Structure 1
């Protein structure tokens, strides 16, 4: 099952990405244009940090994961 969370620029990005590294499976950031960043990748995390400085690029973006344990770990960031 796929879980989708709307990305919020108000989350603590540092702790969020630390928790992403604890996830069992891949976690993706997806823009409205269909660009995808695999957030377990150091390069992708760097790109996300850069994008967060341009909030207009974050509108409509989502976080996707497929594992229920990962959903439970990440859900507090999106409630």
Structure 2
């Protein structure tokens, strides 16, 4: 895998939590944890974009029931606050 160094700033509380996970053996390193988190978000965003494209090709939007289910699964409230936004 090709890697490139990118510097990011995180709130101290988040870094502390990640370091505790590393110390407990639940993550290999801070960098590995962040890389995994970024990949998970990219995968989710790609999936949401594919879903949007499918609905656009069908010519209609998801029903309110579909949106409610997706928000519950993704941990997102009706205002789009949370992990992802529909």
Bin for the TM-score computed over the shorter chain: under 0.3
How high is the TM-score relative to the length of structure 2? 0.26
Which structure is higher in strand share? 1
Greater relative contact order (Cα 8 A, min sep 6): structure 1 or 2? Answer: 1
Give the TM-score of the pair, scaled to structure 1: 0.28
